[in-house]
Amino acid sequence: MADIALIDENALTARAQTTRRASRGDARFHFLTWLAAALVLLIFAGVISALVVGAIPAFEAFGFGFLTTEVWSPARERFGALASIYGTLVTSFLAMLVAVPVGIGIAIFLTELCPRMLRRPIGIAIELLAGIPSIIYGIWGLFVFAPWFQEHIQLPVISATTGIPVIGTLFGGSAYGIGVVTASLILSIMILPFISAVTRDVFETVPAMLKEATYGLGCTTWEVMWRVVLPFSRSGVVGGAMLALGRALGETMAVTFVIGNAHKIDSSLFAPGTTISATIANEFTEATTELYTSSLISLGLVLFFITFVVLACAQLMLRSLEQRAGK
């Protein structure tokens, strides 16, 4: 009897040990995954602090006037961010002007009009546009698109609009091929797939019953989309557009190739300009003095701040949509 009890007790301790070992392994694994998640936060904090620390000399030298001065002269060590900020905002704005309606149009085509058989291949083809690296858009823009644009769009538009007030100024100057409008158009092609992919996904969350009911009342496709689907999915569409805007603001290589890297704000949209990211990409390795490097890092800080705000808004809108969808 006593023997059996002893064996039992041994078995119990063995099992307890196994359980304890397992739970210790469990805790260790839990901790490791937590550590990896914390590392994501650490990277983010690292990016911000690196930018802030690097930006200090420039802000000490120029104050907040850095943001509102147009002068950019490495020779005289005078730096102002205005031309770059202007270029970033204008190219992104023009790109959105083209990409939002077209992107939504593509999404509507894919969800409502496209024959079922073509739906997948066309959807994939549009998404491939998103996969092409930005440097490819850059080299294509420089060697193929810019010369074509110069000959077939810029020259006719310039000669057609000379003399007209306002419009004549906006599209005045010489046809360089490269410039603000060229960069904006290439940006719009790049962000198109982001908008159409998100919009399509959002459209698909609209209950089929709702659409069928509207069709049943005798509404046309346009009326169903405009009065039912779009209002229903508004926050998702806006979120997708802001996500694309975040991309456009920070896009570097495609823009650097075709914007012309001119540090001035020109009244003409065809003129060469620069953006924050293009300035950094072009000049960072050439920056020889501390102040020059610090000014470029300050530009990076400004860019990070702008994109952070835009992307944060985009996320909050898409998140609220997810919650409504009952996730």
Partner 1 sequence: MLANRALYAHRRLTNMAFIVLSIGAAIFGLIWLAFILGALLKEGISALSPTLFTEVTPPPGSQGGLSNAIVGSVMMSVLAVLAGTPIGLFAGTYLAEYGKHTRFAFVVRFVNDILLSAPSIVTGIFIYEVLVAPMHHFSGWAGVAALTVIVIPVVVRTTENMLLLVPHSLREAATALGAPMSFVIRSVTWKAAQAGIITGVLLAVARISGETAPLLFTALGNNLMSLKLNAPMASLPVVIFQYALSPYQDWHTLAWAGALLVTATVLTLSIIARLLENKQRN
With a CB cutoff of 8 Å and minimum separation 6, the contacts of 267 are 169, 170, 172
User: Among residues 172 and 260, whose Cβ is nearest to partner 1?
Assistant: 260
User: Among residues 67 and 219, whose Cβ is nearest to partner 1?
Assistant: 219
- Give the nearest distance from C-beta 114 to partner 1 in angstroms: 7
Residue 171 and residue 267: Cα distance in Å, rounded? 8
With a CB cutoff of 8 Å and minimum separation 6, the contacts of 310 are 242, 245, 246, 249
- 8-state DSSP, 318: H
- Give the nearest distance from C-beta 167 to partner 1 in angstroms: 24
User: Among residues 96 and 192, whose Cβ is nearest to partner 1?
Assistant: 192
User: Among residues 137 and 270, whose Cβ is nearest to partner 1?
Assistant: 137
- Give the nearest distance from C-beta 8 to partner 1 in angstroms: 20
User: Among residues 135 and 164, whose Cβ is nearest to partner 1?
Assistant: 135
User: Among residues 262 and 303, whose Cβ is nearest to partner 1?
Assistant: 303
The gap from C-alpha 33 to its chain's centroid, in whole angstroms, comes to 29
- Give the nearest distance from C-beta 229 to partner 1 in angstroms: 12
- Give the nearest distance from C-beta 5 to partner 1 in angstroms: 25
Q: What is the DSSP string of 49-92?
A: HHHHHHHHHHHHHHGGGGGT---EETTTTEE--HHHHHHHHHHH
Residue 17 and residue 225: Cα distance in Å, rounded? 64
Tokens 């002007």 -> residue:
97
- Give the nearest distance from C-beta 93 to partner 1 in angstroms: 17
Q: Two tokens at 213?
A: 């009911």
CA angle 271-77-258, nearest 5°?
A: 25
